[in-house]
A and B are shown apart, each in its own frame.
Chain A
Amino acid sequence: MSDSQKHFVVPTKYYIGTFVALLFLTIVTVAISRVDLGVLNVPVALFIAFVKMTFVLLFFMGLKWDKPMSSILMVSSLFCIAIFLYFTFADIAFRGDVFPEEEGVHNIKSPVQVVSPAEYEMMFHQDTDKKH
């Protein structure tokens, strides 16, 4: 029985390198979010998150050295999420195109105590270090 078959030991440099990269990218994410890029803020943040996830998957979780099936399972799950998002959006985003009265939400029983923007500013003025 080949119980003594040695598993591949990953050199520490990969782990340390990934750790540093993740820390760096986290700082980048926060820094970029302070800058107003308009509609690009969301895609940029998501892109950086994807890069971080790739580092974790490849090096911390070992997909770089693993059998291909593991990567296929991972990519399939991401593909499923993409499908889920895309087709659900195909519905939600295009409502009201043919029948305008189908658009919008009316008369909800909201638990929120609604205030005007001016009152809101007054109550939470200490939070205005947020760019938006």
Chain B
Amino acid sequence: MSASLKEFKKHTHQHHWTDAHQEFEAAKIGMWAFIAQEILFFSGIFVAYAIFRFLYPDMFLEGASHLDWRMGFFNTLVLITSSFTMVMGVRSAQTNQKKATVNYLTVTFVLAGVFMVVKYFEYMAKIHHGLLPAHFFTGVGVSDKLHIFFGIYFVGTGLHGLHVLIGMGLLLWLIIRAKRGEFYEDYFTPVEMVGLYWHLVDIVWIFLFPLLYLI
């Protein structure tokens, strides 16, 4: 792939680096440190889930029965596909394919949007049944601690959804920059970084889905 690089904006590395490669490697380590901390951020929700599930297993089964596994399954497929299109987008930037980069990033953005729309419908159904986090919980249940399940459900999926929205914002920023020809074989760092972030969002969902919907 030896397209002329004239359509791309040349990148100059910051003064304290010896070359752009060192800058890129540093960005990756920094991003992985950030991802490690994001994992630990979400960990609190999983620990709370584990503790309460251990204490009240029947209540969790009851709570899960209110979730539609088909919508969760569909959303999982959507997110996995978006991860694939994201990494293909990074690869396109790396191989100087400007149009492909824009297209892959756009599809990722759209898929993220689809995820949020499905989430919206799921939340609406919960609200309709009064299955909201505690104060607002007006629903019916066998277990008198059912509100705890929904508290964990809403905080977990809500925080995840917030990260999806942030990701969509980042993708939009990338699409604009990609259209301007800023990403090519010598500089695609932002695409790589957002890609890593996006895969993290996918990983969190990979765990949320079975734990909340399936078991």
Contact = CB atoms under 8 A, between A and B. Distances in A.
Question: Is there a direct interface between A and B, measured as CB atoms under 8 Å apart in the complex?
Answer: yes
Given A26-B76, A93-B54, A61 B28 contact: no
Interface string B120-136: 00000000000000110
For chain B, the bracket of interface size reads 35 or more
Main secondary structure of the interface of A (DSSP, over half): helix
Contacts of A42: 215
A112 B147 contact: yes
B61 A30 contact: no
A120 B140 contact: yes
Contacts, number: 181
A4 B186 contact: yes
B171 interface: no
A29 B214 contact: yes
21 contacts: A5-B19, A6-B185, A7-B24, A26-B76, A29-B209, A45-B215, A46-B210, A52-B206, A53-B203, A60-B87, A60-B195, A73-B35, A77-B36, A81-B46, A85-B47, A108-B144, A108-B145, A110-B145, A112-B141, A114-B143, A114-B144
For chain A, the bracket of interface size reads 35 or more
A125 to B, nearest CB: 11
A92 interface: yes
Nearest to B68: A127
